[in-house]
């Protein structure tokens, strides 16, 4: 459950960054003061709303996939703790050897 809250918070932060970025692009291209939300929505091309809606949908899908992956990993680790620790140890040793060859 804690993972969902973290992912939701991260998703909101990404959406806010996207809105700020869009607003900054408008300001730079027009050379005027930052627009209000109403002005941004009024000045948009019709397909911009669809693009942003699609992007938000893609981010939501990504968050769902990540959440499912983390839940499955947690379940697998709790069902097989010894195998998980041994596997993590082996992966750590392999990464250490690969990085040590530089």
10-66 pLDDT, tens digit per residue, is: 777 878 887 777 777 776 666 655 555 555 555 555 566 778 888 888 888 999 899
Q: What is the pLDDT of residue 101?
A: 76
**44-47-52-58 Cα dihedral, nearest 10 degrees:** 180
Q: What is the pLDDT of residue 98?
A: 92
Q: What is the pLDDT of residue 85?
A: 94
* Helical H segments across the chain, by residue range: 2-30, 37-43, 46-79, 81-100
Q: Is the pLDDT of residue 3 over 70?
A: no
Torsions phi, psi for 40 (to 5 deg): -60, -45
Q: What is the pLDDT of residue 72?
A: 93
């Amino acid at each position: 459950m804690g993972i969902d809250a973290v992912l939701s918070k991260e998703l909101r932060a990404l959406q806010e960054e996207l809105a700020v970025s869009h607003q900054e692009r408008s300001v730079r291209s027009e050379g005027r003061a930052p627009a209000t939300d109403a002005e941004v929505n009024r000045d948009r091309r019709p397909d911009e709303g669809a693009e942003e809606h699609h992007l938000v949908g893609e981010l939501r899908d990504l968050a769902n996939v990540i959440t499912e992956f983390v839940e499955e990993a947690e379940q697998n680790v709790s069902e097989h703790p010894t195998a998980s620790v041994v596997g993590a140890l082996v992966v750590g040793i392999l990464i250490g050897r690969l990085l040590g060859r530089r």
